Amino acid sequence: MDSKINSQLPILLIDDDPVVLEISVTALESEGVENILTLTDSRKTVQFLEDHPVSMIVLDLMMPYVSGLDLLPLLIRDFPHIPVIVMTSSDDIETAVSCIKAGAADYITKPMDIERLLLSVEKALQFNDLYVENRNLREYLLNDNLKHPAVFDVIITASKKMRSIFQYVEVIAKSDQPVLVTGETGVGKELIARAIGALSNRKGPFVTVNAAGLDDSMFSDTLFGHKKGAFTGADQAREGLISSASGGTLFLDEIGDLNETSQIKLLRLIQEQEFYPVGSDVLKKTDARLIVATNQDLSRLISANRFRKDLYYRLCAHHIQVPPLRERREDIPVLLDHFLEKASAALGKPKPVPSREVVALLSTYHYEGNVRELNAMVFDAVARYTTGLLTLDCFAGLSDGEGGLANKSLLVPSKDVDDALYGFFGRFPTIKEMEDYLTSSAMNLTNGNQRSAALLLGIARQTLSKRLGIAG
């Protein structure tokens, strides 16, 4: 039996036959389930549930006093969050089907099939986990709730999108299922992963493995370790990082770079929570929680037969897509201020005040490297800074015409922007009207500095001068 049953709350077995209860308890304990409660008197069920929170119920339908058939509707009505598996005789399938239609999660026939019991319990617990996560997420979103804001202090943001991600992280942090974190380079995927690890209540360490550039041999040795003499140069046994992460979290970065052989090994690790060190035939187990990240489009890799579809579905039990900086431009001013303070402290300089055109121009940049790129740009600018305002001259690569920073800006169609244009002009504006308006705004924003205004507009200074001359 390969199922891995894990439940923080007890499983309740209700049956008037102590032999059946004993067999069921033994079977569940053989799968590592320690939290098991039993009840032989069905009349005590409601009061028992009020006193003892449980994750699920296995309910016999044929019992004296109050039958399972009578009890099931009460459980579904009063305890809808608790999945119920019903047990019935093999010649009464019609009743079992009726119970499923009434809301039971599954059914088991007597005489009991132990493997069927274990599979049903595992399936019901997965349903329960999903129900709890969805309920908690609805509560978080409706109340705009964040219970552990200090955990996210290292992620500088003013974005509602990022706050929604934080709320989701709090909901799924204690889950044992893998987490897939995707997003472009430099958006902060590892920071999100570390927040999940911090909120997981796991006592073990947070261990990071970068899969980029690892062939299968290096991947296996890094993750699973090896025994002494496994290959030339293996003078002593080596513990892999999956063992180092025991009781904690393993963060596997750049998952999209794994070759197919490594993907198969990772799939087995997730499914069985077991692995073999290189050169060893001794099976080892792991309880490390797995978080993976990639900046690649896995669906595209799957279409190109470069990533296994079954591995993808295993990994994305929880999926977090971190938006790029250009989709959360409200973060740019707060990140700019943060990086200015950080850079000035590191370089032993007073924190400079950026000019208006610097703030405006940085807010239009595409940021292919996202937050990491902005950090590097600001650090370099502070290094060049001497005195006065921090101007565009301090930013390397800001030049007129092609190659300038402003020419890398991204225009994203937006209904809000369209509505604003209609409201401002009273109709959809012509290109000439937009050019005149943008030219005037850029000149006002830069206090008449033609070079800075040209950078904002993404045109050569000479072109701006001609337009101004024509306007004059």
For residue 234, being part of any structural domain is answered with: yes
- Same-domain pairing of 186 and 301: yes
Q: Are 83 and 76 in contact (CB under 8 A)?
A: no
- Same-domain pairing of 196 and 222: yes
Give the pLDDT confidence of 380-428 residue by residue, as tens digits. Answer: 999 999 988 898 888 875 544 443 454 444 445 566 667 777 777 777 7
Choosing from 323, 357, 392, the residue where a domain stops is 323
Q: What is d(CA 201, CA 249) in angstroms, rounded to the nearest whole number? A: 10
Out of 12-26, 106-120, 122-136, the most confident range is 12-26
- Same-domain pairing of 158 and 121: no
CB atoms within 10 A of CB 440: 13
Q: Are 307 and 266 in contact (CB under 8 A)?
A: no
Give the pLDDT confidence of 296-346 residue by residue, as tens digits. Answer: 999 999 999 999 999 998 898 899 999 999 899 899 999 999 999 999 999
* Residues with Cβ within 8 Å of residue 40, at least 6 apart in sequence: 14, 15, 16, 18, 21
Q: What is d(CA 134, CA 127) in angstroms, rounded to the nearest whole number? A: 11
The structure tokens listed for 377 are: 């740009």
Least confident of 81-90, 130-139, 162-171: 130-139
Least confident of 90-99, 225-234, 355-364: 90-99
80-92 mean pLDDT: 79
- Same-domain pairing of 112 and 153: no
For residue 6, being part of any structural domain is answered with: no
Q: Are 86 and 99 in contact (CB under 8 A)?
A: yes
- Same-domain pairing of 78 and 174: no
- Same-domain pairing of 152 and 51: no
- Same-domain pairing of 192 and 152: yes
Burial call 155-191: b when 16+ CB within 10 Å, e when fewer? bbbebeebbebbbbbbbbbbbbbbbbbbbbebbbbbe
Structural domain count of the chain: 3
Instruction: With CA atoms as reference, report the closest residue to 441 among 426, 457, 428, 420.
Output: 457
Residue 5, pLDDT > 70, answer no
Least confident of 139-148, 189-198, 269-278, 427-436: 139-148
For residue 184, being part of any structural domain is answered with: yes
For residue 5, being part of any structural domain is answered with: no
- Same-domain pairing of 175 and 103: no
Which range marks the domain in which residue 339 is found?
331-471
